[in-house]
């Protein structure tokens, strides 16, 4: 008989693994789970509620922000801002760091998030998600956090994960003790443990990349993708292309089935703090890998809040092979 466990019970057990735990971490994740339930409810109503379409607002990256992005951003800020567990936040949708509201208690955690990733998919009913990354405050003193607290390497995350609003709503998270998935039962309003200790296959059969960008790819990426398309006998297995254009969805599928997702250089599009780092922690905890092609994502020292990085993420052997293409390109350039 399989056990029934709620996310709350699971988080509580995870917190007990930290010596000297105070319950703050459980409270923070509980607030995050609440925000996700509210966002999920709104996403599910999106087709009905006549709230689709784009606002006149443009986000930090010059992209149009849809109303649900704003809603998700505000929901998380309201739920976490007053929870008393954080000292500073940062979001893909805010240009600057987000201070805690006046009069609210300051805590020891730092939350960074992408409130609604893949939002261009909202009005075609494809899956989208919320990504989160949690660090401990490192700046001196109690009280408000600062930019320094946000610009920490991913290897220092204490927890990371995502919510995916798909055929069902799921939460996938890690505190550094494996990766666990929970599915929301809407009738109960509870996330129930559905995927315990997720392990991603060492090698996959799927590659996910925006092929329309081929002209912009760097040379190793072009060579690698050509290689994947070669005859099965050349590269060992047939690869299928699967690309939704919603990072959480592409990542989640590849995590479960095995595969490689690429948003390559030279510049990349995805953000280190809100997308690459949290998913890198998840994938490594599941036995996979995340790289820029030449460096491990979790080792990167962030330089700015909205820094973009090339992101190659997924099954360990696939990512290692891509890195090998990058190494060979560098060696050839040095000849």
List residues binding ligand AHM (CB under 6 A).
Answer: 63, 92, 114, 117-119, 210, 245-247, 269
| CB closer to ligand AHM, 117 vs 318 | 117
Q: Which of ligand AHM, Mg ion, none does residue 74 bind (CB under 5 to 8 Å by kind)?
A: none
| CB closer to ligand AHM, 250 vs 318 | 250
Helix (H, G, I), strand (E, B) or coil at 40: helix
Rounded to the nearest whole angstrom, what is the least distance from the CB of residue 195 to Mg ion in the complex? Answer: 23
Interface with Mg ion includes 114 (CB under 5 A)?
yes
Closest CA relative to residue 25, chosen from 10, 47, 44: 10
Collect all residues with Cβ–Cβ distance below 8 Å to 333 and sequence separation of at least 6. none
Closest CA relative to residue 156, chosen from 177, 132, 178, 135: 135
Q: Are 172 and 161 within 8 A, CB to CB?
A: yes
Collect all residues with Cβ–Cβ distance below 8 Å to 311 and sequence separation of at least 6. 261, 262, 263, 268, 270, 275, 276, 279, 290, 292, 297
Rounded to the nearest whole angstrom, what is the least distance from the CB of residue 277 to ligand AHM in the complex? Answer: 14
Window of 12-20, 110-118, 120-128, 166-174 that interacts with Mg ion by CB under 5 A: 110-118
Number of chain residues interacting with Mg ion (CB under 5 A): 2
Interface with Mg ion includes 117 (CB under 5 A)?
yes
Window of 47-55, 57-65, 114-122, 303-311 that interacts with Mg ion by CB under 5 A: 114-122
| CB closer to ligand AHM, 11 vs 164 | 164
Window of 107-115, 177-185, 254-262, 306-314 that interacts with Mg ion by CB under 5 A: 107-115
Strand order in the sheet with 206-208: 240-241, 206-208, 260-263, 311-314, 289-291
Interface with Mg ion includes 250 (CB under 5 A)?
no
Interface with Mg ion includes 15 (CB under 5 A)?
no
Quote the CA–CA distance of 279 and 193 in Å, as a whole number.
20
Q: Are 135 and 109 within 8 A, CB to CB?
A: yes
Q: Which of Mg ion, ligand AHM, none does residue 119 bind (CB under 5 to 8 Å by kind)?
A: ligand AHM
Quote the CA–CA distance of 96 and 89 in Å, as a whole number.
9
Q: Are 116 and 128 within 8 A, CB to CB?
A: yes
| CB closer to Mg ion, 30 vs 120 | 120
Helix (H, G, I), strand (E, B) or coil at 105: coil
Q: Which of ligand AHM, Mg ion, none does residue 246 bind (CB under 5 to 8 Å by kind)?
A: ligand AHM
Rounded to the nearest whole angstrom, what is the least distance from the CB of residue 18 to Mg ion in the complex? Answer: 29
Rounded to the nearest whole angstrom, what is the least distance from the CB of residue 272 to Mg ion in the complex? Answer: 12
Rounded to the nearest whole angstrom, what is the least distance from the CB of residue 332 to ligand AHM in the complex? Answer: 28
Q: Name the residue whose CB lies closest to Mg ion.
A: 117
Directed axis angle between helix 24-45 and helix 67-81, to 10°? 160
Rounded to the nearest whole angstrom, what is the least distance from the CB of residue 268 to ligand AHM in the complex? Answer: 10
Quote the CA–CA distance of 136 and 55 in Å, as a whole number.
35
Query: Sign of the CA dihedral 145, 147, 150, 152?
Result: negative
Interface with Mg ion includes 42 (CB under 5 A)?
no
| CB closer to ligand AHM, 100 vs 228 | 228
Rounded to the nearest whole angstrom, what is the least distance from the CB of residue 114 to Mg ion in the complex? Answer: 4
Residues forming the site for Mg ion (CB under 5 A): 114, 117
């Amino acid at each position: 008989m399989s056990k029934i466990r709620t996310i709350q019970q699971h988080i509580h057990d995870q917190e007990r693994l930290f010596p000297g735990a105070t319950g703050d971490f459980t409270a923070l994740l509980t607030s995050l789970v609440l925000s996700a339930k509210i966002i999920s409810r709104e996403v599910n109503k999106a087709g009905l509620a006549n709230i689709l379409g784009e606002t006149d607002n443009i986000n930090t990256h010059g992209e149009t922000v849809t109303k649900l992005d704003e809603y998700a951003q505000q929901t998380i800020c309201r739920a976490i801002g007053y929870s008393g567990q954080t000292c500073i936040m940062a979001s893909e949708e805010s240009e600057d760091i987000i201070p805690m509201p006046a009069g609210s208690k300051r805590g020891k955690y730092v939350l960074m998030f992408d409130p609604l990733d893949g939002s261009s998919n909202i009005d075609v009913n494809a899956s989208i998600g919320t990504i989160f990354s949690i660090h401990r405050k490192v700046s001196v003193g109690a009280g408000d956090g600062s930019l320094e607290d946000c610009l920490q390497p991913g290897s220092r995350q204490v927890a990371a994960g995502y919510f995916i609003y798909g055929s069902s709503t799921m939460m996938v998270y890690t505190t550094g003790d494996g990766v666990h998935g929970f599915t929301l039962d809407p009738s109960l309003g509870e996330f129930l443990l559905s995927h315990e200790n997720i392990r991603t296959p060492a090698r996959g059969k799927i590659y996910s990349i925006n092929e329309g960008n081929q002209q912009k790819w760097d040379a190793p990426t072009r060579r690698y993708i050509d290689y994947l398309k070669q005859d099965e006998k050349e590269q060992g297995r047939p690869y299928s292309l699967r690309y939704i254009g919603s990072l959480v969805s592409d990542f989640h599928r590849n995590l479960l089935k095995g595969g490689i997702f690429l948003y390559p250089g030279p510049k990349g599009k995805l953000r280190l703090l809100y997308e690459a780092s949290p998913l890198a922690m998840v994938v490594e905890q599941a036995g996979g890998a995340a790289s820029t092609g030449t460096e491990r994502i979790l080792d990167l020292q962030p330089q700015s809040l909205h820094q973009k990085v090339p992101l190659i993420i997924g099954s360990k052997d696939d990512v290692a092979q891509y890195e090998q293409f990058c190494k060979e390109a560098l060696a050839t350039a040095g000849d």
